[in-house]
Amino acid sequence: MENQTRQAIDAFQTGFQQLSGLAVTYAFSVLGAIILLLLGYFLAGVIERALKGAIGRVPGFDQTLAQFFAKIGRYVVLALFIVMVLGQFGVQTASIIAAIGAIGLAVGLALQGTLQNIAAGLMLLALRPLRVGEYIEAGTVKGTVEDIGLFATRLRTIEGVYILAPNSTLWSEPVYNFNRNKVRRNDLIIGIGYDDDIDLAQKTMLDLAAKDKRILRDPAPSASVSELGASSVSVTLRYWTSAGDYLTTRFDMTKAAKLAFDEKGISIPYPQQEIVYREVAKGAG
């Protein structure tokens, strides 16, 4: 019994000595790991702020894009310090990097659609085919841009409907931006009767354009006969306005042309269809 007790005590003492040796051996490694983690956390924050400030000072660079790149810099620094800490404990960092690469590949394949939206968002923010406040059309998406995010773009239609369009949709379609250019052209087409005075109609439309201050003088407005239709002659007034005045000028000019034509006796005929009846002789067929 005494021998068994003595053996147990000796085994405990041996184990304690071994644990003490391990504690002494790895104490400096643990302390160094803690110091590295704290240093990495501090440097990651410094680099994030530095990148955000440096990129944000670039003229015309989007703030969302600057914040995104700053976050990437922060995570890269943190990942490097974590690998260094694992190296302190004898872990093979090469295998860790390979594992991280494999995990990244798997995540990339699983989130292919999401990553595609992120890539499209980066391109939209970098190339700027659209900006907040501009009215655009891209495929079936139409509306005023309210926010451009990394994953999706928020728009508002003319009717006030909320649209959240994936960035990949906007990037894969031609974008028609109706506010990017400062001036826009409008063709006001009105059909008059074949018996009406074409020269008078053209002069009337040019006079209306001359009275409206929103219509630019350079390029000068022009009026021409654009089509000979089935029941009317199409007279077209072509003029230029600023992009912001395009719709209101178009509406006002349409109304003014109708009132002016009525005053001058110029008709705007209804669409007509000619029906011919043929009398079949009795006994025929």
How many angstroms from the chain centroid is the CA of residue 199? Answer: 48
Locate 205 and state its tokens: 């439309």
pLDDT digits (tens, 9 = 90+) for 181-236: 999 999 999 999 999 999 999 999 999 999 999 999 999 999 999 999 888 999 99
Q: Is 38 helix (H, G, I), strand (E, B) or coil?
A: helix
Query: Is 104:154 a contact under the CB 8 Å cutoff?
Result: no
Residue type (1 letter), 169: T
What average pLDDT does the segment 44-66 reach?
Answer: 74
Locate 68 and state its tokens: 């995104």
Spatial neighbors of 254 by CB under 8 A, at least 6 apart, are 188
This prediction's pTM: 0.58
Give the model's confidence band at 45: pLDDT under 50 very low, under 70 low, under 90 confident, else very high: confident
| 234 vs 69, higher pLDDT | 234
